[in-house]
Amino acid sequence: MSTNPNTGDAKSKRHNFVNITLQVGKDGEGNYSKGGKPFASARAFYGQGKDKSTDEFLPSMWFKVIAFGKDGEDLADNPAVSTLANVQKGDKIEVKGRLGYDEWKNQDGEQRSQMVIYATEVKTVDDGNDAEEEEEEPQPS
């Protein structure tokens, strides 16, 4: 079961748009659906930094970022799909899109879930920290 990224509260016309800067935790991948529609995805996180009282890292918030192209487009024709397909672990990206939530059961029957951003725009961000190596964020389990 997954949430539909295209639904909003019809009465109030509210939508769940987000604009967030994330760090890529797993290289982007591009592909085509069975119907020929291009899409790309990557795993990325928002690091909350350190707790000032304990000096320990707060848990990172992980997202699956997905961008879809239009029927008949090539991966390179859609800027969001192309950018997301080519990001690499450690890159920083700015993502605009709709927030969603996916749930499923794994092979062992355990309930799993993840936050998803259905991206309409994706661009890489140069944070100017090329000279310094950032501390590695903990990976999700």
**Max CA distance (Å), the chain:** 53
Number of domains the chain is built from: 1
The predicted structure's pLDDT at residue 4: 45
The predicted structure's pLDDT at residue 25: 95
Place of tokens 């990325």: 44
The predicted structure's pLDDT at residue 36: 87
pTM above 0.85, yes or no: no
The predicted structure's pLDDT at residue 3: 44
CA 16: distance to chain centroid? 15
The predicted structure's pLDDT at residue 16: 80
* Cα separation, 99 vs 15, whole angstroms: 9
Burial of 34-72, coded b for 16+ CB within 10 Å and e otherwise, reads eeebbbbbbbbbebeeeeeeeeeeeebebbbbbbbbeee
Residue at 24 is within a domain: yes
The predicted structure's pLDDT at residue 82: 95
Mean pLDDT for each 10-residue chunk of the chain (141 residues)?
44 72 96 92 92 89 94 89 96 96 92 94 81 48 49
List beta partners, residue 64: 43, 116
Structural domain harbouring 82: 17-125
Residue at 6 is within a domain: no
Residue at 10 is within a domain: no
Residue at 138 is within a domain: no
Residue at 135 is within a domain: no
* Cα separation, 40 vs 20, whole angstroms: 18
**CATH number of the domain enclosing 101:** 2.40.50.140
The predicted structure's pLDDT at residue 88: 97
